[in-house]
Chain A
Amino acid sequence: MTDLGQRAPEPDLEANAEAVESQEIAKAQSLWQIRWALLRRSFRNNWKLFRRNRIGIAGLVIIGFFATLAIAPSIFFATGFWSTSVYDPVTGLEPNPPSQQLEIVQTVTDPNTQIDIRQVLVDGRINGNIGDVIDVTLQPAPPYGKHWLGTDPLGRDILSQLMYGAKAAFGLGILAATVTVLIGTVVGSVAAFYGGKIDAFLMRLADLLIMVPGLAILIVISAVVRFQLWHLAVVIGILSGFGGVAIVLKSQALAVKVKPFVDAARVAGGSNARLIVAHIIPNVMPLSFLYMMFTVTSAIQSEATLSFIGLLNVDMSWGLMIQLANNQGYLLQGGRYWWMVFPAGLAVTFIAMAFFLVGRAMDEVVNPRLRKR
């Protein structure tokens, strides 16, 4: 029987890391140290699987890029690299906007050297007649040395807004995803475990939440209350957690519930709460994490939509940036004011895509059946 104990280590573990951890486990004084070592090992194994997936890595790189953006302003302001009066995304103002020499004409043929007479008449800040060459202050200003992504019509820095929006997007996404996973996991597990009336009640509620169109609900709610970003996160979390995610996790929990290890725990005397917390939830958790990624995607998209419609009470966000460009008539100008539209639009697209890609890659780690051999 002694040879049983000396079974070769799992070949897919990195041999030396395995050895180090085995020593740690052997030397560990408390159970927590052992748990920590085991957790690290399982994390490393999963990371090895994840690493093989290129789109997942691409997603992580994009997320990393936006995370850097989100952190950057705090550092810039703290180190004095940016002054608040100029670069604050909401209250900042460029005191010396750039200007350009333009000729006033009847019909503009070259927008870089000419300006329409009607625009001059409307704008109270400048005077002149056709044929005059005047100095026009550029606001919104296109990108230049001081403002890498230009400024908005109020003279605020677009890059700073973009960074601030990244922070808002992360906060919103992570909060919404956490709420989703908490609700989805608990509701799904409880419905699956107890079945019967509890299941019927929870699932009808879930059906109801799936049936109502999410955006419509958000619009209605925002009409009633002052809708802030974290409200939105919680509402999205409840909608998607109780709706689709709970149903998917319930079917997973049903599959776990009938496993003999759950019976074994029951025979050992485990209470229902213990069976759910110690046995069912840990086994549906990987799937919840997967849905967490997808929720981030949908939360960011909803935020952009709502801000664009103007129903969200936020200081600054990517949706709000696009809304501003639209409200002031800069959106449909054939790309002339691209710096006001594209950075925010691309940011929404890319971060939503990144979380989705990471989710897809995690799917392969979580569902071994999808793995390529």
Chain B
Amino acid sequence: MSRPLLEVDHLVMNYTTEKGDVSAIQDVSFTLNEGESLGLVGESGCGKTSIAMSLLRLVAENARFDSGEIRLDGTDLLSLTDEEMRQRRWNDISMVFQGAMNAWNPVYKVGDQIREAMDLHFHPRLSNAEVEARISKLFELVGLNPAMMNRYPHEFSGGMRQRAIIAMALSCDPKIIIADEPTTALDVIVQDQILQELKKIQADLGMSIIYISHDIAVIAEVTDKIGVMYAGKLVELGSTREVFARPRHPYAFLLLSSTPSVTGPRRKLAPLEGEPPDLLNPPTGCRFHPRCPYATDQCATDEPPMEDAGDGHQVACWNWKEVPELGGLTK
């Protein structure tokens, strides 16, 4: 019923540094359908923010796309000129940056800052009155009093600033919003309010959202589909319900087993031993093998391909059949 809107196809991206190449994104593929929400979860440095930045082509200067495509509605974004890409940013894909709530310029009114973003990017040129009407509609949509658009950022609480950031991301009517750690600096109650708001807006406007977070519980709350990333690779991809019910990749399994929860039985959690690898010299074969309790000799030498584990639930692991059911490890 829904058609693919965004297709990331075998994307490979490296950062060139003095010490060598940092393998930030290694052969990542996924699709995002219209009206769908996808979560990318992983630890810091796993490449999730690099993917977000690649989708907008806002990568650092030393980033290098070595292969692969990012197709939006069939057009490869990586082949566009800078000017063509600039036209698409905000209009087709917009982003709620990590910590953006602290990036408001303190000396301008919040409404004026949104207006400026629209002046720069929004296509149908609007009159002043139309812009104003649009901003107040957006404010209502994100649960802010439209009168607040004439206030300065310091008059907003953290949660309100984040809502205004979301309003700004919506201002050019994008098809896709990328939300990079949208609630990380917020308190639990405000985080919950914002997540519910985002869910509602997504349903109302029928847009697609890519959530990026290190917090697997946040992803569980708001997404239809989830991709688990480890050290620059997508290791598991499937419907959120499937992945949480039956994680197939050992990393996803251990991540879920090591996430404390306020619900369910109080249990001993399984720690993930070791530390994430240095992406200057990633481990050979499967990048998770040095920390993996299910690793075999093959894992150290051969890179596992994405395999279908049934129902479109994909996993990149040689031994995914060995991974037990969740809860099998408890006590």
Contact = CB atoms under 8 A, between A and B. Distances in A.
A and B touch in the complex (CB under 8 A): yes
Interface stretch (B87-95, B151-159, B273-281, B306-314): B273-281
Interface in A1-52: 1, 3-4, 7-8, 11-12
Nearest to A12: B19
Nearest to A373: B62
Nearest to B61: A373
Contacts of B290: 3
Given A3-B290, A373-B62, A11 B280 contact: yes
Interface in B4-45: 19
Contact of B275 (A4, A11, A373): A4
A3 B275 CA distance: 9
Given A11-B280, A373-B62, A3 B274 contact: yes
A184 B161 CA distance: 41
Contact of B274 (A4, A11, A12, A373): A4
Most buried by B among A1, A3, A12: A3
Contacts of A8: 278, 281
A1 B273 contact: yes
Give the interface SS of chain B, mostly helix, strand, loop or mixed: loop
Interface string B47-63: 00000000000000010
Nearest to B291: A3
Interface string B276-302: 001011000000001000000000000
Contacts of B278: 8, 11
Interface in B148-168: none
Contacts of A7: 275
A7 B273 CA distance: 14
Nearest to B60: A373
A138 to B, nearest CB: 59
A18 to B, nearest CB: 14
Contacts of A12: 19
Contacts of B273: 1, 3
Contacts, number: 14
A3 B289 CA distance: 13
Interface string B176-191: 0000000000000000
A218 B19 CA distance: 52
Interface string B239-251: 0000000000000
Given A3-B274, A3-B290, A11 B19 contact: yes
A11 B62 CA distance: 19
Interface in B264-278: 273-275, 278
A12 B274 CA distance: 22
A3 B292 CA distance: 13
Nearest to B62: A373
B289 to A, nearest CB: 12
A7 B275 CA distance: 9
Nearest to B20: A11
A12 B290 CA distance: 24
A282 B232 CA distance: 38
Nearest to B290: A3
B108 to A, nearest CB: 25
A12 B280 CA distance: 12
A4 B276 CA distance: 11
A22 B243 CA distance: 46
B84 to A, nearest CB: 28
B59 to A, nearest CB: 14
Interface in A249-287: none
A12 to B, nearest CB: 7
A292 to B, nearest CB: 30
Nearest to B274: A3
A8 B277 CA distance: 10
Contacts of B281: 8
Nearest to B280: A11
Nearest to A8: B278
A315 B273 CA distance: 71
A11 B20 CA distance: 10
Contacts of B280: 11
A12 B17 CA distance: 12
B201 to A, nearest CB: 37
A8 B279 CA distance: 12
A368 to B, nearest CB: 15
Nearest to B281: A8
B63 to A, nearest CB: 12
Interface string A189-227: 000000000000000000000000000000000000000
A343 to B, nearest CB: 42
Contacts of A373: 62
Nearest to A1: B273
Interface in B208-264: none
Nearest to A11: B19
B282 to A, nearest CB: 12
Contacts of B275: 4, 7
Interface string A338-373: 000000000000000000000000000000000001
Contacts of A1: 273
A7 B19 CA distance: 17
A11 B278 CA distance: 10
A231 B314 CA distance: 79
A246 to B, nearest CB: 30
Interface in A151-172: none
A185 B273 CA distance: 44
A373 B18 CA distance: 9
A8 B62 CA distance: 24
A256 B190 CA distance: 32
A171 to B, nearest CB: 40
Contacts of B274: 3-4
Interface string B134-153: 00000000000000000000
Closest 3 CB pairs of A and B: A11-B19, A3-B274, A8-B278
14 contacts: A1-B273, A3-B273, A3-B274, A3-B290, A4-B274, A4-B275, A7-B275, A8-B278, A8-B281, A11-B19, A11-B278, A11-B280, A12-B19, A373-B62
Given A4-B275, A11-B278, A11-B280, 4 more contacts: A1-B273, A3-B274, A8-B281, A12-B19
